[in-house]
Every structure is written in structure tokens, then in C-alpha cells.
């Protein structure tokens, strides 16, 4: 594995190898001293052309826990503002001797292009609507901790599916793990063409019925053009995950959200903070999963 762009060509064994390493990384993170020398002398650059809290922070912490040097680049405070291109930005940073670039971009395909621009491992931290593979890995890892192996399990993913790279990467990864994925949301926010075998419905109850887990996705206000969503009140009325709606799922089914959450929109606030919510477990697991990804890309883990 040289890059992490999406899950094309991945097998279940590849996913299991990452999960096994992530479990070892969780043991490291449980120690009083949470640092190991695995990547000493290596350099990881986080290059975010789009905002992020969780992905950027956790990749940077993951690299530091492994003793790598970290270069933290944010588009807003850079020479991009003077007109420099993505390509020249990456080539400039690569000249400092970067071993891995963690890249988030507003446009689909930028991480793929980066593999031709620089000689380094490329990790896709989210490209446009297309893919967010490290998020899907941490989601599936967190799900398996909660409900066991995902083969044959029904996972309901609810919300703005159309604009969601998380939905796409989750569908791709959950298919590899043998889960049955249901997408639900308002018709204008559903994909025109189903992907990775996921079932698509505008009827929330159909997706939630007996689901083993429910994941709510953010309404991506920044990507929604005029008229696609009537109002947030309409969304809440039809698709917000509430106690009553979650009761349609299997008893005790956990609730996930990749964040950032529009509080009290996608999920009823009390539920998001309640015992069935895995939101903060997802955040915490993000660090261990990203340590595992960096390990497999820069050291090699047999995957
Ligand atoms: N889930 C996720 O990608 O969050 P950030 O945008 O905060 O990184």
C-alpha cells in the first residue's frame, strides 16, 4: 500500500490488518507516555485546502505519537491566497523532504493528481464529494467495537447523502466488510445513481427498521445549492434522528455521526450526548486508526 486514496482494490484482509494495528495503537495511547519511535526521522505534512477540526488534528497527533516531524499547512494562511496553485504548493512542501502528505481538497481527484506531482505517500483526507477513506475506517472500526463483525449487519446512513464523501467511503468499505447499507434522506439529497450496492430510500422508517446501527450525516450547507433543501425545520420533521425513530432500529443499536454536527438538526441533542451515541468514540478512534494508516503506508504492515 503506497497511498490511501479510496478502497479500490482493497480486500477484507487489508481492512483487518489496519484494524489490528489500530488496536495495538490504542494500547500505546492508553499508556502514560503515548509516543513510540516508529516514524522518527520521517516527515508528515497535513495540507488542508478545506477546513477541518477532527481529521487534521488527529492526523497530526497520530504522526507525533509515532515521533514523525509534522508540517501543518492550512490554505487560508498560505501563498494560495496570492494565487499559487495546489500543484506548486505541494511541490514546494515536497522540496523540504516530506514522506507523506495528508491532503484535503474541495475538488474530487486532487489527492489522485498529487500522486503524480510529488514522490511521497498520499493520504486522502477528503476530496470534494468523492471519498474520505480514513473516516470510513474509523467508523467501521468503532462500529465493530460496538456491535461485532459487520458481515450481514444492517447499517442505516441518514441525511445529506448526495454531497457526502463519508457516505461514499462508508458504502465502499462496508461492502468489503459484508454489511448491508441503507441510505435515507430527502429525495433531493439522495444520489441519482446508487453506489457500492447501497439501497436508497426516501422513507426513513424503511432504512431504520431493525438496523443494527444508525449513522446520521451532516447537512452540508456549504455544498447545497438553492432549493435542494426546503428548510431545516422540514428536515428535522422528516429525518432528524429522535428517540422515537431510533426505537425502530434493533434494540440498543448505536448512533454515529462523523462530525461536525449541526446540533439539534441531524440528531436530537439529548440523543447525541446520550449513552447510545458513539460520536466521541469515533473521534478518539480516529487517532489510533490514523496512526495505523501512517504505519502501514510508511513502514509497511503486510497489507
Ligand atoms: N469528520 C470530519 O472529517 O471532520 P472534520 O471536517 O472536522 O475533519
How do residues 28-67 score in pLDDT, each as one tens digit? Answer: 999 999 999 999 999 999 999 999 999 999 999 999 999 9
CA of 50 relative to ligand 1 center, distance in Å? 10
Rounded to the nearest 5°, which phi and psi values hold at 45? -110, 125
For residue 57 and ligand 1, the question of a CB distance below 6 A is answered with no
For the domain made up of 12-128+286-298, give the CATH fold: Rossmann fold (3.40.50)
Which residues are paired to 116 by β-bridges?
none
Quickly list DSSP for the chain: ---BSS-TT--HHHHHHHHHHHHHHHHHHTSSS---STTTT-EEEEEESS--SHHHHHHHHHHHHTT-EEEEEEGGGSGGGGT--HHHHHHHHHTTT-SEEEEEESSTTHHHHHHHH-SSEEEEEEETTTB-HHHHHHHHHHHHHHH---TT-EEEEES--TT-HHHHHHHHHHHHTTPEEEEE--GGGS-SS--TT-EEES-HHHHHTT-SEEEE----GGG--TTSS--HHHHHHHH-B-HHHHTTSSTT--EE--S---TTTSB-HHHHTSTTB-HHHHHHHHHHHHHHHHHHHHT----
Nearest to residue 132, comparing CAs of 259, 44, 266, 21?
Answer: 259
State whether the beta carbon of 302 lies less than 6 angstroms from ligand 1. Answer: no
Distance 259 CA to ligand 1 centre (A): 6
Q: What is the pTM assigned to this prediction? A: 0.96
Predicted pLDDT at 302: 45
167 C-beta neighbours (distance < 10 Å), count = 29
Examine domains 12-128+286-298 and 133-272 and report if their fold is the same. yes
Q: For residue 196, how far is its CA from the centre of ligand 1 (angstroms)?
A: 22
Locate the ligand 1 atom nearest the alpha carbon of residue 132 and give its number.
Answer: 3
Residue 183 is predicted with a pLDDT of 98
Q: Rounded to whole angstroms, what are the CA distances from 167 to 31, 45, 83, 291?
A: 34, 26, 32, 23
CA-55 nearest atom, ligand 1: 8
Q: How far apart are CA 162 and CA 219, in angstroms?
A: 10
Domain ranges of the chain: 12-128+286-298, 133-272
CA 163 to ligand 1 centroid distance, Å: 14
- CATH 3.40.50.300 corresponds to the domain 133-272: no
Atom of ligand 1 nearest to the CA of 258: 1
Written as nine digits, the cell of 129 is 464529494
pLDDT tens, per residue, the chain with 303 residues:
899 999 999 999 999 999 999 999 999 999 999 999 999 999 999 999 999 999 999 999 999 999 999 999 999 889 999 999 999 999 999 999 999 999 999 999 999 999 999 999 999 999 999 999 999 999 999 999 999 999 999 999 999 999 999 999 999 999 999 999 999 999 999 998 888 999 999 999 999 999 999 999 999 877 776 666 778 889 999 999 999 999 999 999 999 999 999 999 999 999 999 999 999 999 999 999 999 999 999 998 544
For ligand 1, is residue 261 a contact (CB within 6 Å)?
no
Cis peptide before 120 (omega within 30 of 0): no
Amino acid at each position: 500500500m503506497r497511498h490511501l486514496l479510496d478502497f479500490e482494490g482493497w480486500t477484507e484482509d487489508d481492512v483487518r490488518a489496519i484494524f489490528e494495528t489500530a488496536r495495538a495503537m490504542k494500547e500505546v495511547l492508553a499508556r502514560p507516555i503515548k509516543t513510540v519511535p516508529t516514524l522518527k526521522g520521517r516527515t508528515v505534512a497535513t495540507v488542508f485546502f478545506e477546513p477541518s477540526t477532527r481529521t487534521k488534528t488527529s492526523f497530526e497527533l497520530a504522526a507525533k505519537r509515532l515521533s514523525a516531524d509534522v508540517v501543518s499547512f492550512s490554505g487560508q494562511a498560505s501563498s494560495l491566497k496570492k494565487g499559487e496553485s495546489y500543484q506548486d504548493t505541494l511541490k514546494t512542501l515536497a522540496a523540504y523532504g516530506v514522506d507523506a502528505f495528508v491532503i484535503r481538497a474541495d475538488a474530487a481527484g486532487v489527492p489522485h493528481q498529487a500522486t503524480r506531482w510529488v514522490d511521497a505517500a498520499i493520504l486522502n483526507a477528503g476530496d470534494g464529494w468523492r471519498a474520505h477513506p480514513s473516516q470510513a475506517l474509523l467508523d467501521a472500526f468503532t462500529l465493530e467495537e460496538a456491535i461485532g463483525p459487520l458481515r450481514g449487519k444492517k447499517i442505516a446512513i441518514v441525511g445529506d447523502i448526495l454531497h457526502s464523501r463519508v457516505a461514499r467511503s462508508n458504502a465502499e468499505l462496508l461492502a468489503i466488510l459484508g454489511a448491508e447499507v441503507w441510505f435515507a434522506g430527502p429525495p433531493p439529497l439522495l444520489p441519482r445513481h446508487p453506489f457500492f450496492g447501497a439501497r436508497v430510500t426516501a422513507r426513513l422508517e424503511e432504512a431504520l427498521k431493525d438496523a443494527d446501527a444508525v449513522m446520521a450525516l451532516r447537512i452540508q450547507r456549504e455544498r447545497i445549492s438553492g432549493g435542494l433543501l426546503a428548510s431545516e425545520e422540514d428536515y428535522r420533521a422528516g429525518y432528524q434522528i429522535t428517540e422515537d425513530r431510533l426505537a425502530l432500529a434493533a434494540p440498543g443499536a448505536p448512533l454515529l455521526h462523523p462530525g461536525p454536527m449541526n446540533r439539534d438538526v441531524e440528531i436530537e441533542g439529548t440523543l447525541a450526548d446520550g449513552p447510545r451515541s458513539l460520536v466521541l468514540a469515533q473521534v478518539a478512534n480516529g487517532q489510533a486508526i490514523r496512526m495505523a494508516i501512517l504505519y502501514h503506508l510508511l513502514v509497511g504492515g503486510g497489507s
